[in-house]
Amino acid sequence: MKLGPRTLLRRWRGAWRRWSLWTLLVLLVISMLATMVWLAGRYEASQVQTRLERDTADAVSDIRVALTRNLQSLQALHAGEPGQLAWEVDAAELLRSRRELVRIEWRDANLRMRTHAQSPYRPVAWDARIREGHQSDAAIACTNARRLSSPSYSSSYFQPHGDGLGSEMMELCLPLTGGGRHTGFLVATYSLQDVLVNLVAHNLTRSQEASFTEADGTRLAVLGAARRGSRMFTAQHLLDLPGTTLVLRMDTWHSAPSLFPNVLTALVTAMSIALVTVMVVLVRDNRRRLRAERDLADALAFRKAMEDSLVTGLRARDLEGRITYVNPAFCAMVGFSAQELLGQSASAPYWPPELVDEYRQRQAIRLSGQHIPPREGFESVFMRKDGTRFPVLIIEAPLINAQGQHTGWMSAFLDISEQRRVEELSRASQERLQATARLATVGEMASLLSHELNQPLAAISSYATGSMNLLEAPAGAGSTPAPESLQDVRMAMQQIARQAERAGKVIKSVHDFVRRRDQAREAVSAQQLIDAILPLAILQARKLAVRVNTTVEPGLPPVLCDRTMVEQVLLNLARNAMQAMDDPEIRHRVLDIRVRRAASNQHSGWIEFAVTDVGTGIPPDVATRLFTPFFTTRPEGMGLGLSLCRTVIEQHGGFLGFAPHEPRGTVFTFTLPVSQPAPPP
């Protein structure tokens, strides 16, 4: 039976369609089979890699814990300041128990060797000259440890052994302190090979190999002989130590993935189950996606509410400096809208025109990554849209995305205008309080003037009375005074002029003190200060039958002081000392004035003045109130002399005090700074 052309064409089309479907089905099965094989291999490889990464991290953690334990043991060697022999015994015991340590050295503050101990398990040919050199790894590590005041490790180096071989070593330098000062160093030498053997080997499998490597992959120490397979897996982990960084590398070899024996049966079963579960998975996925969208919308709404409620301005910039985000608080702070700020990079509109160049340079440095902003932030000045300037505190941090990549900078801004205003008000209030305190002393200064002017005025009165007596005394046969009397009168007139000038200086010094002016200070020798007050002191000493002794240590430099005020201090102390000896029971009355270098500061610029009497001394109840203003033990006293003396000395940076004098009496001492010579022009 002969078929027609149409029937043949129809059958050919049907056969082609069936073969096409079968071909597509076969291709689908083959592709699924290949995909399953590939996925199984990838999964098994990822499991091996994950396990290797975990083992590497555990090994690094074990090494770090062991190094910390060794550091504590090394620190314990110097507990209680042991002797050299006891130290050597303890160090040898530590080397026997910690085989990764090959040598321990005790060095002084100049890195010279005091003693050492060496591991008994491995002979090493040490060169003492190289180890004690300033360019050795131990010296470099100790220099870094001294700078950081903490233990520091050196980089690895090759050290030959006594058996002709060698290994990589690493130094640990531990600074030693005692009594608050640096006393020396403790240098411990690690063998990288022994670190692997003693700290890592117990966790290695037969198919793993561990090694320390450099950054370029050069192996420094290797442990394990792994079995070679069809695929190799590698994991690296940084061992970050103070002063150096090592890379721990672990390799493992694995054979081809072992798939289940009947892939076709598993494939058919999986395809049968897949047809039933596809719809369930799609429905669950759709529900999960809708739930995730709702959660995302809630999170966005929550973040938006938080941003709107913040008073801190937020700004985000990309790595090219373009503004990518601003929050409403920042817009309200500068007065610009978000549309006006987004995309700005070269010059922000809130930068003051006079500071644009400076801010551009700062932004360029920041974006280049050369300078990390301080965590506590830094201050700057911004300009609002209306042109007003205001200070801000800026806190910046790197902007890291979900993949851990640095994509820009996030900045937080605080308007500190109110804080500056409060600080200014506080400063002004403090100044007003100080001015009020100064004005409160005006009453005291008025009383002080009357107290201090008594001495020069009394001297003027005494000299004037003496001059009148000399002029009225008979001069023999004639009425003209004798030449000797005229010479005494001339001397008395000079003393009257000098004391009048002294009274004027006292008034001017007190006036400058009340008006908060800097007192004029000059370089004056100690002898000049004593000579200036000695005539007045001798006048009172004659009335009270007191002998005055003065001693000035030779070679003393001049002191820098307000001459008038310091002379008044000396005169007050001398007068108080003579009045303390105004007792009939005291027969030998001696006033001793001594000047010398301060005993506690032989190499510093201070001169000590001491005024000593042999009076009745100061009772304990009076000593506690001796320098209190308006406190006095004499009915005619005002209680301002010693208070003024302490104020004057403290204004010069010195100290005024007193102490009992043996066998009786009191010594008052005060210090004044030495005048520094002026630098050459």
Q: If you average pLDDT over residues 25-45, what whole number do you get?
A: 69
The residue written with tokens 């009148």 in the block is 468
Q: How far is CA 330 from CA 165, 243, 308, 571, in A?
A: 67, 43, 10, 68
CATH 3.30.565.10 fits 519-681, yes or no: yes
Name which of 122, 120, 121, 142 is nearest 131 in CA terms: 142
Contact 187, 173 (CB under 8 A): yes
Provide the residue ranges of all domains of the chain, joining segments of one domain with +.
71-195, 308-420, 441-474+481-517, 519-681
532-565 confidence digits (pLDDT tens) = 888 878 878 888 888 999 999 998 999 998 888 8
- Tell me the average pLDDT of the chain: 78
Q: What is the CATH number of domain 71-195?
A: 3.30.450.20
Q: Which tops the pLDDT comparison, 574 or 472?
A: 574
The answer to whether 71-195 and 519-681 have equal CATH topology is no
Position 527 pLDDT exceeds 70: yes
Say whether pTM exceeds 0.85.
no
pLDDT for position 610: 93
57-95 confidence digits (pLDDT tens) = 898 899 899 999 988 988 888 887 788 888 888 888 988
Contact 594, 577 (CB under 8 A): no
Contact 166, 153 (CB under 8 A): no
Range of 275-289, 310-324, 438-452, 570-584 with top mean pLDDT: 570-584
Q: Which tops the pLDDT comparison, 203 or 94?
A: 94
pLDDT for position 559: 92
Position 612 pLDDT exceeds 90: yes
204-225 confidence digits (pLDDT tens) = 877 788 888 887 778 888 887 6
Q: If you average pLDDT over residues 499-503, what whole number do you get?
A: 71
Q: What is the CATH number of domain 308-420?
A: 3.30.450.20
pLDDT for position 490: 73
Q: What dihedral angle (degrees, nearest 10) is formed by the CA atoms of 347, 353, 355, 358?
A: 40
pLDDT bracket for residue 162 (50, 70, 90): low
pLDDT bracket for residue 363 (50, 70, 90): confident
Name which of 314, 317, 322 is nearest 343 in CA terms: 322
Number of alpha carbons in the 13 Å side-chain half-sphere of residue 279: 3
